[in-house]
């Protein structure tokens, strides 16, 4: 399977703390994307990082990419209760045009 | 931003019936659409790639006669679950990419359709 692996599978933190999620993959990629999904809802695109980029920021989000280790991390700073959701990494590998999703991290932010 | 609409958002059907789910790109033309399936608390698994005007490309293990995909126009793809059984109950999500080319950019996702087969 080309599906990426994410850890932790579940994460519970207090409001105001930072949350870090990690994603590992196996193939060569064009880009890696992070998505958020509220329970029973569709996906919301958070951020895209290209294979030649190492770090990217968007508001309270910080994404890193290490292509030598085939891994990425998503950091959410100063978390809020509204950040409670599942977060998925997804890779666009060099041979396909579809996204392959990781296993996801369920984040619970306690108010 | 671009909007992808799925309909219906929820459907309950009896075992043995067929169910059609529509995926529409509302403000852009999508030459390629993708259908994913998601079980509870699990990740999204790609089922098939739908290209406008041609046959869909199915992922390994996905029955093409079970999950019929039609992409008849640049703004509409449909997934028909034929002779549905309880094990087909799942959350089905479509996504669409604008235009053609290498397509390495962002995909836009629908809100998903929850199918429950009794």
Residue B102 confidence (pLDDT): 45
**Do residue A97 and residue B109 have CB atoms under 8 angstroms apart?**
no
Query: Does the pLDDT value for residue B105 go beyond 60?
Result: no
Pick the residue from chain B with its C-alpha nearest to A29. Answer: B104
Q: Which residue in B115, B53, B38 sits closest to B82, CA to CA?
A: B115
Q: Which burial class, exposed, middle or buried, applies to B28 when counting CB atoms under 10 A from its CB (0-12, 13-18, 19+)?
A: middle
> How many Cβ atoms sit within 10 Å of the Cβ of residue B15?
12
> Which DSSP string corresponds to chain B?
---EEEE-SEEEE-TT--EEEEEEESSS-BSEEEEEEE-TTS-EEEEEEEETTS--EEPTT--TTTEEEEEEETTEEEEEE-S--GGG-EEEEEEEE-B-TT--S--EE---EEEEE-
pLDDT tens, B64-87?
999 999 988 889 999 999 999 999
Q: How high is the mean pLDDT of chain A?
A: 92
Q: Which residue in A42, A13, A4, A20 sits closest to A110, CA to CA?
A: A13
Query: Does the pLDDT value for residue A1 go beyond 60?
Result: no
Q: Residue B15 in contact with residue B115, Cβ under 8 Å?
A: no
Residue A3 confidence (pLDDT): 63
A97 touches chain B (CB under 8 A): yes
Q: Which residue in A59, A49, A104 sits closest to A80, CA to CA?
A: A59
Query: Does the pLDDT value for residue B99 go beyond 80?
Result: no
B51 falls in which pLDDT band (50, 70, 90)?
confident
Q: Which residues touch A7 (CB under 8 Å, ≥6 apart)?
A: A21, A22, A105
Query: Does the pLDDT value for residue B90 go beyond 90?
Result: yes
**Do residue A40 and residue B109 have CB atoms under 8 angstroms apart?**
no
Which residue did the predictor score with more confidence, B99 or B78?
A: B78
Q: How high is the mean pLDDT of chain B?
A: 90
Pick B43's closest partner by Cβ from A42, A44, A104.
Answer: A104
pLDDT tens, A39-85?
888 899 999 999 999 999 999 999 999 999 999 999 999 999 999 99
Which residue did the predictor score with more confidence, B99 or A110?
A: A110
Q: Residue A25 in contact with residue A69, Cβ under 8 Å?
A: no
Mean pLDDT of the A30-37 span: 94
Q: Residue B87 in contact with residue B103, Cβ under 8 Å?
A: no
> Which DSSP string corresponds to A17-42?
S-EEEEEE--S-EEEEEEEEE-TTS-
Token digits of residue B33: 């659409």
CB contacts, 8 Å: A30 with chain B: 104
Pick the residue from chain A with its C-alpha nearest to B39. Answer: A40
């Amino acid at each position: 399977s080309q599906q990426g692996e994410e850890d932790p599978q579940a994460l519970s933190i207090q409001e105001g703390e930072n949350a870090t999620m990690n994603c590992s993959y196996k193939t060569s990629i064009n880009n890696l994307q992070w998505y958020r999904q509220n329970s029973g809802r569709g996906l919301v695109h958070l951020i895209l990082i290209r294979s030649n980029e190492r770090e990217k920021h968007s508001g309270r989000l910080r994404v890193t990419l290490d292509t030598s280790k085939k891994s990425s991390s998503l950091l959410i700073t100063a978390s809020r209760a509204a950040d409670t959701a599942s977060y998925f990494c997804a890779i666009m590998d060099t041979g396909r045009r579809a996204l392959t999703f990781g296993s996801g991290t369920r984040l619970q932010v306690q108010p | 931003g671009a909007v992808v609409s799925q309909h219906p958002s929820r459907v309950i059907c009896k075992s043995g019936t067929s169910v059609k789910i529509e995926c529409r790109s509302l403000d852009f033309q999508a030459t390629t659409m993708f259908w994913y399936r998601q079980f509870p608390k699990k990740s999204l698994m790609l089922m098939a790639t739908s290209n406008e005007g041609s046959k869909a490309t199915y992922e390994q293990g996905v029955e093409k006669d079970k999950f019929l995909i039609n992409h008849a126009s640049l703004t509409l793809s449909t997934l028909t679950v034929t002779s549905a059984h309880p094990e087909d109950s799942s959350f089905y999500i479509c996504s669409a990419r604008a235009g053609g080319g290498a397509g390495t950019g962002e995909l836009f996702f629908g809100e998903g359709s929850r199918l429950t087969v009794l």
